[in-house]
Amino acid sequence: MSGGSARSGALGVAPPRTVGVAGAGTMGAGIAQLASLSGARTLLHDPISEALNAGLERIRAQLERGVERGRLKAAQAEEASARLEAAPALEDLADCELVIEAAPERLELKREVFAQLSDGIVSDDCVLATNTSSLLVTAIAGAAKRPDRVVGMHFFNPPPVMRLLEVVAGEQSSEEALALARAAGEAMGKHVIDALDGPGFLVNRCNRPFGLEALKLLQERVAGSGEIDRICRMGGGFRMGPFELMDLVGVDVGLDVSRSFYEQSFGEPRWRPSPIAVKTVAAGRLGRKSGRGYYDYSGGPGQHRPPDPEPLSSGGGDGLIVIAGTSPLALALADGASDAGWEVALPEDAKEREAPFLILDVGFGEDAEVPLQGGPQGICCAQGSLAVLDPGGGAVGFHALPPLEEASLVELTRGPDSADSAASAAERFFATLGKHTTWVADAPGLVLGRIVSQVVNEAAFAVAEGVGSAADVDAGMVHGLNYPRGILAWADQIGLDHVLAVLDGLYEERREERYRAAPLLRSLVMSGRLGRQTGEGFFSHDG
């Protein structure tokens, strides 16, 4: 349950009985559909009569479709449609307890709507909410007669489908106004989370590195765009890779958001726009809407990339695998190897044994009690690149993230002196665990580890700054962006020392401020709160 739900209930706030929606486009119509289904009398306004009529027709068509698909009962749809009314003029919203503005993302336009509404149209007690996703709620509220009655209600597209609602507190938003907005969202069936005003609020802010770090990987030629996406899907469980997502949203839209973040933050290095995106937009490759972005969509729906291969069957291990380290990844590898038929030993237990098939160093810099030698080696590239961890050596590098049992792909890398025997042994070993492998260029964290660590880091910054709670971050990423799991709970499962090792490795080798670790993340690690393995990290864990 979100913190917002608890506070709404504590205040005993009932959802509004009359809701206005200003703007009848895709977002506005979707919000009005939710309001009418919640039981509120719903007034839909648009200054353009054709747009208003189209919005009303869209809502009623969606209600009928809901009945046809069994999602709604016929009576529900009929009652919702009866509660829906046209409001051709702003003055028609006079009786509303809540007005949700869904106008185009132009600050002056939104400010004008709020100024007009609060200038004798709605009562002083009416809550005015903006659905903006990129503008500051505080900047919009400044035009209202009572800025304390202005809040953000950020719905995710499409509103009737996406479960999340961010209720955003501007600098002057009152708790009473926020509580009414939460109550309205809960009545609409949304998972409500709270956020403070700022660039991207909570969810879009935390997700910034998903695309930006992918673009940095592409810029450094660690992997191609299609391979980066495949690694995120197969290695991390994402439904869509970052380049597919950027194409879906619109490369130009994403670039505009990046520029807005960078400008609002006065040049925060973590949010610096990518020159690759600038060139892609300049070339007219805007994504799906233009037929080409990072992918070519001329072949029709679903033809822009080959399908991912089916997972491999595990088993077939035969011989000794030595695993050094006690991290969650090391333990997961040991469990997987044992299940696949390998004999697994720690370095100190393998001294008198036959030569191992493969030695895996997953110690993140821990000093092994005995030298790791006697067979081909694979080194986990967490706290550094393979070039730093094994200069001139014959090992190969690898990286993967827990939960390993849910991944179907592991990344490998090699240097100029990596032994062919180590490469072939690593490929075969991971195949017996049921994992595909892919070769990428050398870097701390390789691809998935680097992207996920950066998202965790941004979320840690946001939590420490009070933008939102850890629980709300995770709920937002799952319900608003379809993440495979909450990003901070995932960090606890990976091990916060693992995440910090990747970030520090990137900072040491790149010397870029974008990789500086969030103080909260470093503090948790320094205090021994590493996540599930220690019982506490961003969350407390029992057992």
CATH of the domain at 50: 3.40.50.720
Q: How many domains does the chain have?
A: 3
**Statement to judge: residues 89 and 165 lie in one domain:** yes
Contact indicator for 481, 421 with CB cutoff of 8 Å: no
Burial class (CB in 10 A: 0-12, 13-18, 19+), 236: buried
**Statement to judge: residues 172 and 235 lie in one domain:** no
- Measured CA to CA, the distance from residue 131 to residue 323 in angstroms comes to 51
**Statement to judge: residues 19 and 136 lie in one domain:** yes
User: Helix (H, G, I), strand (E, B), or coil: what is residue 183?
Assistant: helix
Contact indicator for 467, 460 with CB cutoff of 8 Å: no
pLDDT at residue 533, rounded to an integer: 95
In a domain, 188, yes or no: yes
Phi/psi for 278 (5° steps) reads -60, -45
**Statement to judge: residues 159 and 53 lie in one domain:** yes
In a domain, 533, yes or no: no
pLDDT at residue 370, rounded to an integer: 52
Planar angle of CA 8, 13, 18, nearest 5 degrees: 120
| Inter-CA distances, 189 with 101, 368, 383, 396, 462, Å | 19, 53, 43, 50, 26
Phi/psi for 377 (5° steps) reads -125, 145
**Statement to judge: residues 165 and 234 lie in one domain:** no
Q: Which of 382, 409, 434 is the endpoint of a domain?
A: 434
Amino acid, res. 397: G
pLDDT at residue 363, rounded to an integer: 86
pLDDT at residue 352, rounded to an integer: 72
As beta bridge partners, residue 287 has 292
pLDDT at residue 130, rounded to an integer: 98
pLDDT at residue 373, rounded to an integer: 73
Instruction: Tokens for 233, please give them.
Output: 């899907």
pLDDT at residue 148, rounded to an integer: 97
In a domain, 484, yes or no: no
Contact indicator for 202, 461 with CB cutoff of 8 Å: no
In a domain, 506, yes or no: no
Residues 6+ apart with CB under 8 A from 338: 344
- Measured CA to CA, the distance from residue 324 to residue 351 in angstroms comes to 13
Angle between helices 74-83 and 26-37 (to 10 degrees): 110
**Statement to judge: residues 53 and 166 lie in one domain:** yes
| Inter-CA distances, 458 with 121, 473, 487, Å | 41, 11, 10
In a domain, 303, yes or no: no
What residues are annotated to the active site? 133, 154, 166, 204
Across the chain, how many H-helices and E-strands are there?
A: 20, 15
**Helix residue spans in 12-73 (DSSP H):** 26-37, 49-68
Q: What is the CA radius of gyration of the chain?
A: 26
pLDDT at residue 366, rounded to an integer: 64
**Statement to judge: residues 212 and 191 lie in one domain:** no
Q: Which of 386, 419, 434 is the endpoint of a domain?
A: 434
Contact indicator for 426, 396 with CB cutoff of 8 Å: yes
Q: Which of 248, 270, 290 is the endpoint of a domain?
A: 290
**Statement to judge: residues 221 and 155 lie in one domain:** no
Residues 6+ apart with CB under 8 A from 26: 157, 158
pLDDT at residue 350, rounded to an integer: 74
**Statement to judge: residues 334 and 426 lie in one domain:** yes
Show the domain range for 269: 208-290
**Statement to judge: residues 278 and 381 lie in one domain:** no
Instruction: Tokens for 26, please give them.
Output: 């895709």
**Statement to judge: residues 238 and 341 lie in one domain:** no
In a domain, 77, yes or no: yes
In a domain, 64, yes or no: yes
- Measured CA to CA, the distance from residue 366 to residue 537 in angstroms comes to 21
- Measured CA to CA, the distance from residue 463 to residue 484 in angstroms comes to 20
- Measured CA to CA, the distance from residue 59 to residue 78 in angstroms comes to 12
Phi-psi region of 10 (alpha: psi -120 to 50; beta: other; left: phi over 0): alpha
In the DSSP assignment, the letter for residue 101 is E
**Statement to judge: residues 28 and 135 lie in one domain:** yes
CATH of the domain at 286: 1.10.1040.50
pLDDT at residue 375, rounded to an integer: 87
pLDDT at residue 134, rounded to an integer: 86
**10-residue mean pLDDT series, the chain (543 residues):** 38 90 96 98 97 97 95 96 97 98 95 96 97 94 97 95 96 97 97 96 97 98 98 98 96 94 94 97 96 95 93 94 95 97 89 88 70 84 96 96 97 97 98 98 98 98 97 97 97 98 97 98 98 97 82
In a domain, 331, yes or no: yes
